[in-house]
Structure 1
């Protein structure tokens, strides 16, 4: 009987977490899980990167457009120790020689508590100095952590040509406890 009670309590906690988010959040969370599977399907070494990371955020659908001035935005799901802890918003603006539009997935992995804390405190920004690793079929991916952060991207659609300078800003929205 105690085992059944424990299972019931665990299911209730899990259900409350799922139902605490609105429909848009649930869609982003679902898309983030699919994006994680796509990263791993595209390159098997990504499974180890996700497993070894202290935390990560997945932006499953980032849209970017540019004509001299460019911008991008996306919503993502944030995980710490493999557990969903909140949502994130990303905005990017850049200026330079650029034209086009594209959609891509982005995964930001953290291997230090300090980097994750900066992200959670909305004191986190990716500048032009941080390079993202493009996830390709079968290529060996070495995570190049810089200040506790590694970034991976995977194109979905579009074409963009650019030589620009800018940065990405993030907002972390924790789930209510």
Structure 2
């Protein structure tokens, strides 16, 4: 019983933090958070530096909050870069269904191999279904990833506890920097 209570408490705290992080519009702090998140991800997996260096652009979501009890959802805001310069803000939303319980936060980066992939993303034509695979960054693990449809996706857990065997997809929106 105590494990279930701890799980539910983790879920509620994580969900509350996620709601707080997603209120409001464009924020300069989001650029700082995205830059810091990418540096931390590269520190944990140095091979990501070559993706960053070779990419046309990338999107960094420094805090994606995910929670589920059977049906799950996730959301977060991030910054989109072209040539290492911020060009706009993106929102990520995710829906899943299956055996899942808990809550967690994670970081996500999507590298765009070329202009076509960047344009598809910024024109809101990118939706990842259950077939899209993100590589989870863990200490000491090898990262051998090929570009898929001009994109490479990496995630790193920030915290929380999530048991999951589910299917779902991610959807993105894009708002150009004014």
Using structure 1 for the length normalisation, give the TM-score: 0.83
- 1:55 counterpart (57, 65, 74): 57
What does the per-residue CA deviation read over 1:37-84, in whole Å, with 9 as the maximum and x for residues that have no partner?
101110111111111111100000000000010000000011011111
8 Å Cα contact 1:89-1:171 kept in structure 2: yes
Contact kept? 2:66, 2:72, Cα under 8 Å: yes
Q: Measure, in 2, the Cα distance between the counterparts of 1:113 and 1:23.
A: 26
Larger mean Cα displacement after TM superposition, 122-131 or 140-149: 140-149
Tell me which residue corresponds to 2:40. Answer: 38
Whole-angstrom CA distance in 1 between matches of 2:149 and 2:26: 32
Q: Which residue of 1 aligns with 2:125?
A: 123
Q: Kindly provide the CA deviation profile for residues 74-110 of structure 1, in whole angstroms up to 9, marking residues without a partner as x.
A: 0001101111111100000111111111000000111
Q: Which runs of 5+ in 1 are unaligned?
A: 1-21
Moved more, 81-90 or 58-67: 81-90
Aligned residue number for residue 10 of structure 1:
none
Find runs of 4+ consecutive structure 1 residues off by over 4 angstroms. none
Structure 2 residue 108 is matched with structure 1 residue 70: no
Distance 1:25 1:142 in 2: 34
Shift, 1:23, TM fit? 8.0
State the aligned residue count.
Answer: 155
Cα pair 1:44 1:138 within 8 Å, conserved: no
Partner of 1:8: none
* DSSP-derived class of the 2:28 partner: helix
Q: 2: CA distance between counterparts of 1:23 and 1:131?
A: 29
